[in-house]
Amino acid sequence: MDRESVKRNIFLQIENGWFFRNEKINFVEMKNVFIMLLIVHFTLNIEDCICQWTVISTQGNTAVSFPSENTGFSTANGITKKTTNGGYNWSSLSGGNLTGIFFINNLTGWVVGYPGYIGKTINGSSFTQQPTGIQDRLNEVFFINENTGWVVGGDFSNEVIFKTTNGGINWTTQTSGTANKLFSVYFINENTGWSVGGPSSPKIIKTTNGGQNWFMQSTTISTPLYSVMFANENTGWAVAGYLGGETIIKTTNGGINWFSQSSGDTRYLRDCYVIDSLKAVAVGQGGKIIATTNGGDNWSVISTSSSVELWAVDFASDSVGYAIGSNVVLKTTNGGLTFYSENSNQIPNKFGLEQNYPNPFNSMTNVKFKIANAGNVSLKVFDLLGREVSTLVDEKLQPGTYQANFNAENLSSGVYFYRLKTDGFSETKKLLLIK
C-alpha cells in the first residue's frame, strides 16, 4: 500500500471512531496507532516535491542538444544519435570519439571530440569534418548564431580555444595565456562569454570582446569546474564534475565575485542549465538532479527512478527539458522545477481551482487546486491571445489539494489566464501581473 493510501486509511479509521470504539485494543496496538499518527502528522507538514522527471529511454549518451521540443541529438565515445519524437526513440547517425554537441536548429549542428575533431551537419544527419590542425581532445562546442561559435578543450596542462565566424569553414586559435584544459564554454552574445575547466585547479576565464582577449576570474574553491552557464551578463552558475563532493558556485556581477551554494546532497555534478536568473537545474552522480527557483538560495533534490550517472542536461523550452546519462534519458514537460506540494490531508469531494495569491502580483504568485479523482492533470498559463506561456503541472496526480508556484519574471505586465484541466473538468481564472 502506498503512503497516500495509508494516510487515508488512518484518518478514515479515526473519523469513523474506530480507535475509541474498539474496547479490545491492547497496548501494542495502541502504540502502533500512535506511531502511525506521528508519522502521518510529520509527513503532512513536509512539502513534497512531486517528481518532475520521467525515464523515457535507455539509449542515453554523455552529451545532448535539443534545438526543439521533439528533435534532439546526443553523442558519446563512438556514436551520435537523433530523435524526432521527443527522446522516446533514437536512430544512429555517425561514429567517432565524440565528447560534445551543439545544434543551432533542427538541421544545423556541430560535434567535437578527439583527436582535434570538429564535424558539422546542415541536414541533421550526415557530418563533414572541419579542419583544426591539432591532435588535442575537444570537449565542448557552443554557437551564438549560425556563423559564430567557439570550441574548447585541451589535454591536462594544454589549453585549446577555437573560434569561427563563418560557420566553421575556418577556425582560428584563441588563448587566455593560462594552462589547464577547458571543459565548458558559454556566450550570452557575440562579445561576452566564459569558459571553465581544470584539472589541477579550478579555472574560470572570461572575454568581453569575442575571445580576442581572455582573462582569469578568481574563486575560493579548489575543485576543477565542468560546466558553466549564464542567464544574463551578470548572473551565472558553474558546477564541479569530479570526485570530491558537490560544488556549486554563482556570480551576480559577471564573475568578478563567485560564491558557493549547496543542495545538501554531496554527490558531484556534471552539468548545469540556467533557465533565468532565478531558475536553474544541475545533474550528476547517481542520477542526481537538483533545481532552484529562487536564484540558488535553496536547491531541491529531485527524486527520480534512475541511479545512472547523468552527464548532461538541456532544455528545448522553459518547460521541456532532457537529462541524459550513459544508458538513460529523462524528460520533464513542466520545467522540472515547478515545485508543487500536497498541503492537505483531506480528500476533496470535487475538483476546484482557486484564485491565485497574491493577485495582482509582481513576478511570483501561488495557485491552489483540488483533485477529486486520480488522473492526468494539466495546469497552464496563457496570455490574452491564448498563447501558452507556462506549464505548471502536466502529469498524473492522486486526489488531494495542491499548490503550484508561478514565476513570471520573464513576462511583461498584463492580464493572463490560468486553466486547470483534467478528465471531465476544466476551469479558467484570470491573474494580473504588475511590474
Q: What is the pLDDT of residue 433?
A: 94
What is the rounded CA–CA span in Å between residue 151 and residue 119? 11
Q: Looking at domain 340-433, does it have CATH number 2.60.40.1930?
A: yes
Question: Can you tell me the mean pLDDT for 60-70?
Answer: 93
Element (H, E) at 291: strand 288-292
* Whether residue 49 has pLDDT greater than 60: no
Task: Please enumerate in sequence order all residues whose Cβ is within 8 A of that of 259, keeping only pairs 6 or more positions apart, or say none.
Answer: 249, 250, 251
Amino acid residing at 207? T
Residue 194 grid coordinates: 566564459
Stronger pLDDT, 296 or 344, i.e. the higher one: 296
Element (H, E) at 10: helix 3-15
Question: Can you tell me the mean pLDDT for 27-31?
Answer: 44
Q: Which residue has the cell 574553491?
A: 221
Q: What digits encode the pLDDT tens for the residues 272-324? A: 999 999 889 999 999 999 998 889 988 888 877 788 999 999 999 888 899 99
The domain spans of the chain are 3-44, 55-332, 340-433
Q: What digits encode the pLDDT tens for the residues 381-400? A: 999 999 998 888 877 888 88
* Whether residue 29 has pLDDT greater than 60: no
Q: What is the DSSP letter of 287?
A: G
Among candidate residues 120, 96, 98, the one with its CA nearest the CA of residue 108:
120
Fold of domain 55-332: Methylamine Dehydrogenase; Chain H (2.130.10)
pLDDT band at 352 (very low <50, low <70, confident <90, very high): very high
Q: What is the DSSP letter of 45?
A: T
* Whether residue 230 has pLDDT greater than 90: yes
Q: What is the pLDDT of residue 21?
A: 35
Alpha helices in 202-319 (DSSP H): none
pLDDT band at 36 (very low <50, low <70, confident <90, very high): very low
Domain pair 55-332 / 340-433, same fold: no
Measured CA distances, 278 to 74, 140, 273, 377 (Å): 27, 25, 12, 26
Residue 84 grid coordinates: 524526432
* Whether residue 32 has pLDDT greater than 80: no
Centre a 10 Å sphere on the Cβ of residue 166 and count the other Cβ atoms it contains: 10
CA torsion angle for 64, 411, 405, 370 (degrees, to 10)? Answer: -110
What is the rounded CA–CA span in Å between residue 427 and residue 49? 24
* Whether residue 53 has pLDDT greater than 50: yes
Q: Is there a contact between 82 and 66 (Cβ–Cβ < 8 Å)?
A: no
Q: How does the average pLDDT of the chain come out, rounded? A: 84
Q: What is the pLDDT of residue 405?
A: 78
pLDDT band at 222 (very low <50, low <70, confident <90, very high): confident
